[in-house]
Every structure is written in C-alpha cells, then in structure tokens.
Structure 1
Amino acid sequence: MNRFSDIVGQEQLKEHLENAIKMNKVSHAYIINGEKNAGKEFIAKTFAMALQCDSRQGIEPCQECHSCKQALGGNQPDIIFISHEKPGTISVDDIRTQINGNVAIKPYSSPKKIYIMNEGEKMTVQAQNALLKTLEEPPEYVVILILTTNVNSLLPTILSRCVVLNMKPVQDSQIKKFLMQNMEIPDYKADICVAFARGNVGKARLLAKSEEFDKVKEEAVTLVKYIHEMELNEIVTAIRKINEYKLDVNDYMDILSIWYRDVLLFKATHDANHLIFREEIQYIRKVADRSTYEGIENIISALEKSKERLSANVNFDLTMELLLLTIKEN
C-alpha cells in the first residue's frame, strides 16, 4: 500500500504535496532531500500514484483502479524510473535518453508523465546541465521528482527551478510506535532500533528486520562486557570478526557508543529505566563502578574519532586496534 497516511512523520512535506494535489498546483519539478533509507522513494511513489489515480476521489491513491494497480506492480507506463548503468554516476547520456529524448511523447493513459530519479546526487555536472534544458521549458504534463541524500551536490540553477522538500528526523516515539504496531517488534528491540536510527524510519525498519544486526549487536556487547579481561591477540581476532560483517562499520561503532552512553547515564543517575541496553544492567553497573567519568568520556570521544578516521579511509585494523586499546585502558 502506498498512501500518504502510511508516511511516518514528515508532516510538513506531506501537507505540501497533499495541498498541491488538492489545489491543482502541482509543480513541474520537486527535489526530495533526505538521508539514505529515510523513505524518499516511498513518498515519491505515493505522490506519483495519487497524481495518476483514476478514481479522482480525495487525495489518497485509491489502490484499486487500473493505474494504482499498475503502479503497485511497478509497470505504470507514465511513471518512469530513471536508471543508470554506472553505479556511481548518472551520466549526461542517461538524462538525454531517458528524459530529454522522451518528454515530448505525451502520456500513454494518465494525466501526467512522471519521472522519478533516485540518487540525484550522482548526476554529473554535464547531466545536470542537460536536465536543465527540460526544467526550463517542460511540457505541462511532466513532473520530475529528484531524490537525493545531498541537495548541495545539485547546481543552483537546478535548485532554483524545483520545489525543494527537506525530510526531517522523525520523533523516536513515532518510530517506536510504527515498529511495534506495523512490524510487531517487541518493546526492547524497538528501543534499540530507534536509538540507532536517529530519526530515520527506513533505517529503523531495516535494522528491525536484519538478522545480521542482531548478531553484530551480540558480538559488540560481548566484546565490551569482557574487554578488560582480553589479551591483545583476542582483541585482534575480535577486530577481524567485525570486518567480516556486511553491516556498515558505523553501525558497529554506534552500538559501542550507545553502550558507553548507557554506562555514563547509569553512573550519573543509578537509574536503569532510561537505558537502551537495560537488560544488561548487571554488566553496565560493573563497568560504571570501575570506570571514572573521564575514562568513559575518553572512550566516547575515541569512538567518534575512529568513525572520522574510517570515513577518511585510514587503515581499518589499525584504527580499531587503537580504539579497543583505548577502551581497555579506560
């Protein structure tokens, strides 16, 4: 189902798109800017379905008409998804063949002809300049939806010809409610997914479904529980194991950061109710008792520095060794 009511959070963005349909003031081009997995494509598909819906009753796509069924099946001929052969680039040829060379053909069966471009930040400057030609004089039936994780990668001339809609972090309580009601995720696991998602519903949803995330979480928690007893060779083995997982290493770092924030919180308050890893209270109490405030803050700071080093492509094994030794020392 693709309905505006299924979009979690993003009230301003939803209201803008719904009003555009209601008042018949749909722009020829939109940029939806938000984090990876935040739900940009779901919003774009919902908007496209609503614009093409045959029933014309209200704002929500009806899900039942021929157009909606085609869209749900991914074969609505007037909702076109831009593809690109090179994984890291949307080239000038991609734009010329899939948009510029196609816009003059009127819609087959719908009122609009809608182009949805994911990963808009991957457009080369030449591709953006080619797209500009269509944006400057688009046929009245054309709507272009550019989805991006980095609106600053787009030329000012592109931005000036599009309605820019920025996605905002969703409240933790809304994400938790979504996970528990829609996905039947238990309370404790929902709390952990929400803590990692940092306002990103899509990420919370992926983590909730990921068996690998559960394994990585268990490995990380086991490591921090027993690191003070481990020898250097055991730490090196643990580092190699981290590298085996397909999960983003930043997620592993976030697990460690949340654990030590729990330790800091418990040391300050002696209250387990607000801890993310509250079922590990026995070990959190031990770490809090034997660590100083300065030591815990040193660890949290080292975790942030390690994330920065890995983003700058500093050697993984060396970065992790330094980090885990800092954790052991503190």
Structure 2
Amino acid sequence: MSGFKDVVGHSEIIQYIQNAVTEDKVSHAYILNGEKGSGKKMLASLFAQTLQCEKGGTEPCYECHSCKQAVSGNHPDIIWVTHEKPNSISVDDIRVQINGDIQVKPYNGKYKIYIVPDADMMTVQAQNALLKTIEEPPAYAVILLLTENANSLLPTICSRCVMLKLRNIKDQLVKRYLMEQLQVPDYKADVCTAFAQGNIGKAAMLAGSEHFNEIKDEAVRLLKNIDTMELGDLVEAVKRISAYKIEITDYLDILMIWYRDVLIYKATMNIDRLIFGEEIDSIRERAKKSSYEGIETILEALEKAKARLRANVNFDLVMELLLLTIKEN
C-alpha cells in the first residue's frame, strides 16, 4: 500500500494537499487536471483516504477501520461516481449519485467525498446540475473532479473549484521508476521514457505493452511512405489506423514525436537528441523537404485531431484530414 511518499513527482500538489489537511483548510471542490496516466486517480484516492483516516495525519495510516474500508473500496463516505454511457456523464448520473445523496450526512467520517473520474465528459446539463451543489455544498462535502481537459468544464464550475494541475514528471524520475520499481532494462526504459513525455502512467503502460512496438512500426511505416500515397492509399491507411482506435492517442503521440525529431534535426543537425535515432535517414530526408512552417502546421494538426477525437468527431474524417495535412506539408 502506497502513500504520498511513494508518488513519483507532483511534489507541489502533494504539499498543497497535506497543508490543507494540516491547517484544516480543505476546500469543498477541486479539479485535478492532467493527461491520462498522469496520476489523478492515485492522488484523489490518497487525498480522500487521508481526509477520512482516523489518525488524522498527512498520510493514510492503513491501520484504522476507515483506511481498511477505503483500500477495499467499501468506504461509505468515499463515493466514486460512475456512468453507463462510455463517452458522457449524464445529468441523471450527477443527480442520482451526487445531488440526491449529498444531503445525507457522512456515515462514520468527518467528510463525504465524491470523486468524479472523466469529469470533462459531463454534459452541459450535468455540469449545471453539479454547479448548484458546488455553489451551496454541505460543510462536510468534498468533490474531486478528475479531468484531462479542464477547459471543457463551464467557467462557473472552474471558478468555484481549486485547480490542481498535474505537470509532466522529469525524465530521470520516470526512468528510475521503470528500472527500480518495474525492473525494466535500461535500453527499454529509455525508449518508454522518451515516448511517455513525463507521464509515468503512460511509461509504465508502454513498458508492459507488447502492442506498443506494433503501433510504433505502423506509424513509422506510414510516415516513410506518405509522400507517394494517393488518396485511395490514404483511405486504406485510415482503415489500418482504425485498428488502433483504443490506443489512438499513443499513435498520434508517435507521429508528434517523429515531427519533433524532424524539427530538432532541421534546426540543429544533432542526432544525439533524436528519439527516432535509428531512423536518421528518413528524418534527414523529411527535414529537407518540410519547411519550419510546414512542420508547425503538422504539429498543430495533430493537436487538433486529438481534440476532435476527444469531442467524438467522426474518426475516419478526422484521420483523413490529418493525413492530407501531413502529406501537403
């Protein structure tokens, strides 16, 4: 069982949380904003456990009845909000699980804590329903909203919550964690760390994924051949990419890192800083063909594609537009 001391990185957020607990200045609502795999759920869970711990310290003790209930997932005053629809949290989800429950006092803790994973999936109606509760919460209530994109929340909600932004963790800390905690070999830890870009959850996932090399090879193959591809070939490429819909963020990140390498090489001619160092011939060729403006356009298109897919825009349409932008630049 881990405590705050076992969390890699996020020291400022941990210090903030522990100060709030020590000084009894816990807010009624927080937004924990960060990428998937950045540690939002772990921090929210530790925060909730610490608030409910009967020993009243700055870490869960894991010995009291409350901590044991929390670890088993059966604490009556730590409520994880769920949703049936895969891509949205409905107004009924909020009304039933938060609004309709929050007036019931805690069973045996000082607080009643609601944790909402994927809070950026709340519909506007759901957010408005939650807003009424956040505006006038009971004194014992604490609501933790976990988001990948806090900008999708209503400004009125953001203004009433304490924003805790999970930042990227230093590469050396990520690599050390992979090698020391997960026994990942040195060379593999380097690759996973580079691709994770400061996201320790992602680094751990990549280290344990047999699928990752397949995705990487498919993405590199596309980038090497896209110049000679006709429209029909691009459509076929989109069909192949659709096999990785679940890991599409990883796929797009690989494309971004490739063009980051192209940009670095174009600007510095230095191969030591390249993540795709083994593909130097293709990187060099792309750097010659693409202008700085063209590379920037591609990187912007990749970010837009991520945002559109998060917003449930048609997958094939998003990817076709992206590949056309890459081909044209």
Change (3 A) 1:246 1:183: farther
- Contact kept? 1:264, 1:296, Cα under 8 Å: no
Question: What does residue 288 of structure 2 align with?
Answer: 293
Deviates most, 126-135 or 169-178: 126-135
- Contact kept? 1:103, 1:142, Cα under 8 Å: yes
Q: Percent identity?
A: 50
Aligned pairs for 1:219-298 within 5 A: 219-221=218-220, 227=225, 240-259=239-258, 261-262=260-261, 265=264, 272-278=271-277, 280=278, 283-284=279-280, 286-287=281-282, 293-295=288-290
Question: What does residue 165 of structure 1 align with?
Answer: 164
Question: What does residue 202 of structure 1 align with?
Answer: 201
Question: What does residue 148 of structure 2 align with?
Answer: 149
SS of corresponding position for 2:32: strand
- 1:7 aligned partner, one-letter code: V
1:117 aligns with 2:116: yes
Question: What does residue 182 of structure 1 align with?
Answer: 181
Distance 1:118 1:101 in 2: 19
Question: What does residue 21 of structure 2 align with?
Answer: 21
SS of corresponding position for 2:68: helix
- 2:299 aligned partner, one-letter code: E
Q: What is the aligned residue count?
A: 321
- 2:28 aligned partner, one-letter code: H
Distance 1:274 1:127 in 2: 46
- 2:198 aligned partner, one-letter code: G
Question: What does residue 3 of structure 2 align with?
Answer: 3
Distance 2:154 2:253 in 1: 33
- Contact kept? 1:192, 1:277, Cα under 8 Å: no
Question: What does residue 192 of structure 1 align with?
Answer: 191
Change (3 A) 1:295 1:76: same
Aligned pairs for 1:49-198 within 5 A: 49-56=49-56, 58-198=57-197
Distance 1:265 1:155 in 2: 38
SS of corresponding position for 1:32: strand
- 2:208 aligned partner, one-letter code: K
Question: What does residue 299 of structure 2 align with?
Answer: 304
- Contact kept? 1:30, 1:144, Cα under 8 Å: yes
Distance 2:238 2:3 in 1: 44
1:54 positional shift: 2.4
SS of corresponding position for 1:64: coil
CA RMSD of aligned residues (A): 3.4
- Contact kept? 1:2, 1:45, Cα under 8 Å: no
Question: What does residue 12 of structure 1 align with?
Answer: 12
Deviation digits for residues 26-72 of structure 1, max 9, x if unmatched?
A: 1222121222332211111010011111233x311122332222212
1:114 positional shift: 0.8
- Contact kept? 1:302, 1:326, Cα under 8 Å: no
Higher-Rg structure is: 1
Deviates most, 23-32 or 186-195: 186-195
Change (3 A) 1:138 1:265: closer
1:97 positional shift: 1.8
Unaligned runs of 5+ in 1: none
- 2:44 aligned partner, one-letter code: A
1:323 positional shift: 6.7
- 2:102 aligned partner, one-letter code: V
SS of corresponding position for 1:41: helix
TM-score normalised by the chain length of structure 1: 0.80
- 1:19 aligned partner, one-letter code: N
Question: What does residue 35 of structure 1 align with?
Answer: 35
- Contact kept? 1:53, 1:67, Cα under 8 Å: yes
SS of corresponding position for 1:144: strand
Unaligned runs of 5+ in 2: none
Deviation digits for residues 138-189 of structure 1, max 9, x if unmatched?
A: 2222211111223233333333332222222222222222222222222332
Change (3 A) 1:290 1:77: closer
